[in-house]
Amino acid sequence: MATSRFGNIVPLSAMLTEDGGDGGSNGSVSSSTATSTSINYDDESTLEAQYRIPPPEIKDIVDAPPVPALSFSPHRDKILFLKPRALPPLAELARPEEKLAGIRIDGNCNTESRMSFHTGIGIHQLLPDGTLGPEKEVHGFPEGAKINFVTWSPDCRHLSFSIRMNGEDNDSSKLRLWIADVDTGKARPLFQSNVYLNAVFDDFVWINNSELLVCTIPLSRGAPPKKPLVPYGPKIQSNEEKNIIQVRTFQDLLKDEYDEDLFDYYATSQLVLASLDGQMKDIGQPAVYTSMDPSPDQKYIMISSIHRPYSFVVPCGRFPKKVELWSADGKFVRALCDLPLAEDIPIAFNSVRKGMRSINWRADKPSTLYWVETQDGGDAKVEVSPRDVVYTQPAEPLEGEQPVVLHKLDLRYGGISWCDDSLALVYESWYKTRRIKTWVISPGSEDVSPRILFDRSSEDVYSDPGSPMLRRTQAGTYVIAKVKKESDEGSYILLNGNGATPEGDIPFLDLFDINTGNKERIWESDKEKYYESVVALMSDQEEGDLLLDKLKILTSKESKTENTQYYIVHWPDKKAVQITNFPHPYPQLASLQKEMIRYQRKDGVHLTATLYLPPGYDPSKDGPLPCLVWSYPGEFKSKDAAGQVRGSPNEFAGIGATSALLWLARRFAILSGPTIPIIGEGDEEANDRYVEQLVASAEAAVEEVIRRGVAHPRKIAVGGHSYGAFMTANLLAHAPHLFCCGIARSGAYNRTLTPFGFQNEERTLWEATNIYVEMSPFMSANKIKKPILLIHGEEDNNPGTLTMQSDRFFNALKGHGALCRLVILPFESHGYASRESIMHVLWETDRWLHKYCVSNISDVGADDDTVKENVSKGITDSESKVVAASGGGGSEASGDLDNEQFHPTPRSSLRKIR
């Protein structure tokens, strides 16, 4: 199922935490850590280790007020405006954190560290004419409160959320549960002052309209365990049983018995059943509870927990896991499973844990469970049919009643969309072949055989039929919406799709007859100027089939220069009523120029990119510009799929805090996201020809911007983040004729440090030694002669991109006399969050581009036309100098300057998304 692209639309019932995020106070960097915005990059004192601020053109865009997030009530009659903070100060990231079992915990808050938050909540009534009523502020909580986990009650009369303060002592910074009356906006704490949330995993969930089940810090908990001066003993890991355990490069794992005790201390919760009138009672015993999921009829709660023995080689998501059913008042009903430690899941994609997994409630039944069990031992390399079996069973089966086989799958299970006893859609997929299938089943009719509805390549975006739209039931679950047409007995559903075409995405809404396969397009995005998408179904307050003539949907609308606004569209006239009016976030770039361009690689693969040009720029008058190419490679199984167009030329140019588009304000041309497909057709793996295809894609992109006259041939820089940084380093090593310099952020450069697979590579170092070595720019450090800026967070916890990767790569470059610079950002992780760090990253990048791109003097004697020709021929820098010297049109050059993927099945997460 496709995920929403609307970053400021919150799930209808909950507000999730963000790792890093764009939150925080909008306070400026203190004078002790920042310099003046007056920039003189030739002043050597700028190399001193202190935080800097980029030029005002960039700084002002980053400091623009963020847009609120929206959360619609389950009844679709009210909207919350959740008011975000701006970039947080570095001091917030500097708070102590415990790195345990693959997660990072703020011990003072007793939650995951680095949580973003909201500063306020505004409630708007959605009026009958589709417009918004005046804002009603939620009030009553302390000034400066940090708000998280905003959740609607099932009857939409109350909001629940957590609040924490900035206090230095432990208690004031812990999370407390608050309740707000939606009609009045008045908020109040639900518990007494000594009861605090434990939000390391789950936090709280509404059981019914007046009760919540809450994860709390046990009142009996004392001080955290102290690290012993003398260890328990040596740190020993053993494999005397000769088990085959291959894992990727996980970080922040448990290291010893003290870490195990500390993890238990922070992760253990006491479940409390609390009512709105203040009554509360403990439920069950303290344990490491990871999720709480009430049944649709509110009679049962499915409780998941993890327990010892823990592991020092895998994160907590693979620890032993217990799933139990309890009654709504907290009485144990039965155990569903107790899964052992899963250290041995193979690294091949589509490999899974053994035993019951994906245990859920049927959305269309009061209290019926379903789950899937693998038949291949979890190993994707094992050939077996069926590979997965889906089972279903009542919450309390009759004595001797066995689970019922709902469906058998030959690929890997990918989820179910429920409707009723006559209809459900089951998804399966297989990464190796990129095949994805959708089955139609009748859960209540054993005599109706399952049939395939769609069978296609997941890479073929042109054939994507869209996903079924869901409607909310009175029980609060979401099922496939059935639609009726007047005087028509057909059984229709709504398919919401991106509408990928060779001209770009044109989102659509189809009325689809589930029995005949016939479809009618009932809504489509504007094709000429705007990009519109269906965000949610708004006409789902009543039970039964929806009438087409009374359909109501929420859409978004944007253009190249107009930021996203939201609309309500009513049938039958399809009149759109605008409900938001967010100001343009950066009016100084409102008239930027954007074009989706197409060109071809020398092996015939069609490529695309988005070309951005500064406001008012005219290539015929202004001449070529310095250009920044920013990209991220992708793997494909076919050339046709790799050449398909993704995205829309009419989408608004969203500019994030570290976006390459910021340099439009510095009069750069930006080639954003040029497709760099790494293709492995048939039995060939994509990475078998990684360098060759990488260079060919980059050559085609550079040749195109030069041909258009918008990029100066000697002033083209390349950059990327994570796998894009890996790409950048490889291009400077293997295609030095293309770029004048590079910016590589948070990358991995030595693949021998990730020996059990990386990105979408399934083979190990020992199975594909040459591939690992040849793909590693670390092994080609001696070939990098162009200036390269390396930036990395000191606390990077992304698998594979250890901070050590940049440190060792820099030393290798320096050992060969390369012009290079390494910037390590204290307290930052894989993405950068604090205002000080982000501003400094922008300053470093701007300085690098100014010195080694805008002011680039390499090849000054070469004729521009000769350079263009050499680029088109793929001639290297050293070859270019010879050609330029002997071509009769110019003198000899003065010399160079010395210098993570597609996942076809959902990933599980211990933090429940509600």
Share of the chain above pLDDT 70, in %: 88
State how far the Cα of 622 lies from the Cα of 601, in Å rounded to an integer: 28
Give Cβ neighbours of residue 544 (< 8 Å, ≥ 6 apart). Answer: none
Lowest mean pLDDT among 177-181, 500-504, 900-904: 900-904
Strand 280-294 versus strand 300-306 pairing type: antiparallel
- What average pLDDT does the segment 855-877 reach? 51
- CA distances 554 to 559, 876, 885, Å, are 17, 53, 63
Looking at residue 480, its pLDDT comes to 96
DSSP secondary structure code for residue 49 in this structure: S
Q: Which residues pair with 105 in a beta bridge?
A: 98, 112
Looking at residue 634, its pLDDT comes to 95
- What average pLDDT does the segment 816-825 reach? 98
Q: For residue 69, which phi and psi values (nearest 5 degrees)?
A: -90, 150
8 A C-beta contact, residue 318 and residue 341: yes
Q: Which of the residues 830, 837, 880, 896 is marked catalytic?
A: 830
Looking at residue 231, its pLDDT comes to 86
Looking at residue 111, its pLDDT comes to 95
Q: Per the omega criterion (within 30 degrees of 0), is the bond before 468 cis? A: no
Element counts in the chain: helices (H) and strands (E): 13, 48
Q: Using CA of residue 118, residue 120, residue 121, residue 122, what is the dihedral sign? A: negative
Q: Which residues pair with 519 in a beta bridge?
A: 512
**Is residue 878 over pLDDT 50?**
no
Q: For residue 54, which phi and psi values (nearest 5 degrees)?
A: -70, 175
Under the banding of pLDDT at 50, 70 and 90, the label for residue 9 is: low
State how far the Cα of 745 lies from the Cα of 290, in Å rounded to an integer: 33
324 or 5: whose pLDDT is higher?
Answer: 324
Under the banding of pLDDT at 50, 70 and 90, the label for residue 5 is: very low
What's the CA angle centered on 294, arms 289 and 296, to 5 degrees? 160
Question: Which residue reads 């979401």 in tokens?
Answer: 478
Q: Which long-range contacts (CB under 8 A, 24 or more apart) does 172-179 make?
A: 173/108, 173/109, 174/108, 174/109, 174/110, 174/217, 175/109, 175/110, 175/111, 175/148, 175/199, 175/203, 177/204, 177/212, 177/214, 177/274, 178/141, 179/276
Give Cβ neighbours of residue 328 (< 8 Å, ≥ 6 apart). Answer: 207, 208, 294, 298, 299, 300, 301
Q: Which residues pair with 470 in a beta bridge?
A: 480
- What average pLDDT does the segment 605-625 reach? 96
State how far the Cα of 395 lies from the Cα of 385, in Å rounded to an integer: 29
Mean per-residue pLDDT of the chain = 89
Looking at residue 911, its pLDDT comes to 35
C-alpha 783: how far from chain center = 34
Q: Is 388 a catalytic residue?
A: no
**Is residue 237 over pLDDT 50?**
yes
Q: Quick one: tokens of 32?
A: 């002790």
8 A C-beta contact, residue 866 and residue 836: no
Give Cβ neighbours of residue 405 (< 8 Å, ≥ 6 apart). Answer: 389, 390, 391
Under the banding of pLDDT at 50, 70 and 90, the label for residue 344 is: very high
Looking at residue 48, its pLDDT comes to 73
Looking at residue 420, its pLDDT comes to 96
Q: Per the omega criterion (within 30 degrees of 0), is the bond before 507 cis? A: no
Q: For residue 646, which phi and psi values (nearest 5 degrees)?
A: -125, 135
SS3 390: strand
Q: Quick one: tokens of 632?
A: 């991220």
- What average pLDDT does the segment 275-290 reach? 95
State how far the Cα of 211 lies from the Cα of 213, in Å rounded to an integer: 7
Single-letter code of the amino acid located at 380: A
3-state percent breakdown (helix, strand, coil) of the chain, nearest 5: 20, 30, 50
Q: Which of the residues 269, 559, 638, 722 is marked catalytic?
A: 722
- CA distances 521 to 76, 499, 507, Å, are 25, 11, 11
**Is residue 45 over pLDDT 80?**
no
Q: Quick one: tokens of 509?
A: 């809404």
Strand 546-547 versus strand 482-484 pairing type: parallel
Under the banding of pLDDT at 50, 70 and 90, the label for residue 71 is: very high
Looking at residue 46, its pLDDT comes to 60
Reported residue count of the chain is 914
Look at phi and psi of residue 39 and say left if phi exceeds 0, alpha if psi is from -120 to 50, else beta.
Answer: beta
- What average pLDDT does the segment 541-563 reach? 90
Looking at residue 22, its pLDDT comes to 33
Looking at residue 556, its pLDDT comes to 97
Helix residue spans in 785-902 (DSSP H): 803-814, 835-849, 864-873, 877-886
> Listing from the earlier edge strand, what are the strands of the sheet with 111-112?
98-100, 103-106, 111-112
Under the banding of pLDDT at 50, 70 and 90, the label for residue 396 is: very high
Q: Which helix (H) or strand (E) holds 613?
A: strand 606-613
**Is residue 292 over pLDDT 90?**
yes
Looking at residue 543, its pLDDT comes to 75
Under the banding of pLDDT at 50, 70 and 90, the label for residue 912 is: very low
- What average pLDDT does the segment 315-328 reach? 98
Q: What is the pLDDT of residues 758-801, one digit of tens each?
A: 999 999 999 999 999 999 999 999 999 999 999 999 999 999 99
What's the CA angle centered on 636, arms 633 and 637, to 5 degrees? 160
Looking at residue 381, its pLDDT comes to 95
- What average pLDDT does the segment 569-594 reach? 94
State how far the Cα of 135 lies from the Cα of 497, in Å rounded to an integer: 33
Candidates 248, 22, 349, 99; CA nearest to 748 is 248
8 A C-beta contact, residue 122 and residue 138: yes
Q: Environment class of residue 42 by beta-carbon count within 10 Å: exposed (0-12), middle (13-18) or buried (19+)?
A: exposed
878 or 252: whose pLDDT is higher?
Answer: 252
Q: Is 830 a catalytic residue?
A: yes
Lowest mean pLDDT among 287-296, 735-744, 848-857: 848-857
State how far the Cα of 827 lies from the Cα of 719, in Å rounded to an integer: 23
**Is residue 861 over pLDDT 60?**
no
**Is residue 167 over pLDDT 70?**
no
SS3 656: coil
**Is residue 835 over pLDDT 80?**
yes
DSSP secondary structure code for residue 241 in this structure: T
Question: Which residue reads 């007020």 in tokens?
Answer: 65
Q: Cα dihedral angle (388, 391, 395, 398), rounded to 10 degrees?
A: -140
Count CB neighbours of 893 within 10 A.
Answer: 22
Give Cβ neighbours of residue 618 (< 8 Å, ≥ 6 apart). Answer: none
Q: Cα dihedral angle (858, 861, 867, 873), rounded to 10 degrees?
A: -90
Q: Environment class of residue 565 by beta-carbon count within 10 Å: exposed (0-12), middle (13-18) or buried (19+)?
A: middle
- What average pLDDT does the segment 236-245 reach? 86
6 or 421: whose pLDDT is higher?
Answer: 421
Looking at residue 233, its pLDDT comes to 85
8 A C-beta contact, residue 551 and residue 575: no
Strand 269-275 versus strand 280-294 pairing type: antiparallel
State how far the Cα of 431 lies from the Cα of 410, in Å rounded to an integer: 13
Under the banding of pLDDT at 50, 70 and 90, the label for residue 34 is: very low
8 A C-beta contact, residue 740 and residue 714: yes
State how far the Cα of 695 lies from the Cα of 75, in Å rounded to an integer: 53
Side-chain-side CA neighbours of 171 within 13 Å: the count stands at 5
Q: Which of the residues 796, 846, 859, 877 is marked catalytic?
A: 796
Looking at residue 892, its pLDDT comes to 28
Q: Is 379 a catalytic residue?
A: no
**Is residue 647 over pLDDT 90?**
yes
Looking at residue 36, its pLDDT comes to 34
Strand 820-825 versus strand 788-793 pairing type: parallel
Give Cβ neighbours of residue 706 (< 8 Å, ≥ 6 apart). Answer: 624, 713, 716, 868, 871
Candidates 193, 197, 195, 203; CA nearest to 220 is 195
Looking at residue 243, its pLDDT comes to 87
Q: What is the pLDDT of residues 348-358, one digit of tens each?
A: 999 999 999 99
Model pTM? 0.89
